[in-house]
Amino acid sequence: MPQPVELRVLGLVIVGGAVGVLARAAVVVPLADEPVVPWVTLAVNVAGSLLLGFVVGVLGDEYSRWRAFLGTGVLGGFTTYSAFAVHSVQLMPTPLVAISLMGVSLFAGALAALVGIVLGRRTRPSAALEPETAE
């Protein structure tokens, strides 16, 4: 049976999501050159995958609130699957470019997440953060 969502955790995800969306907007909105936007979205998604992997690797399962804020919230808001999907479809008139964008996005995102997890686990604090306790 699914567990109910804590309101505090939901609030952390909402605030984190707003931070992530603002960060992505700060990167993408100033671009006036529309043809580069799909490639900037690719860079944002790969960077977000790396950072999410790092967050997961560093925090593990012991820091669920931090993971909710940083992972689901900030990095979930920062990255964007929907923009990737739309850019891929918009590039279909040039199939090689569209397929390249899709392939690179999937491969580079997964590789970045793997690298992030490995780096996160290697830098995991032993006692720098106090694990959360059930309240």
Residue list, annotated binding site for Na(+): 76, 79
Kindly report the number of other CB atoms within 10 A of residue 67's CB atom. 22
- Residue ranges for the known binding site are 76, 79
3-class DSSP state of 93: coil
SS (H, E, C) 36-83: HHHHHHHHHHHHHHHHHHHHHHHHCCCCHHHHHHHHHHHHHHHCCHHH
CA distance 61 to 93: 44
Instruction: Show contacts of 87-95: CB within 8 Å, 24+ apart.
Output: 87/37, 87/38, 87/41, 88/38, 90/38, 91/38
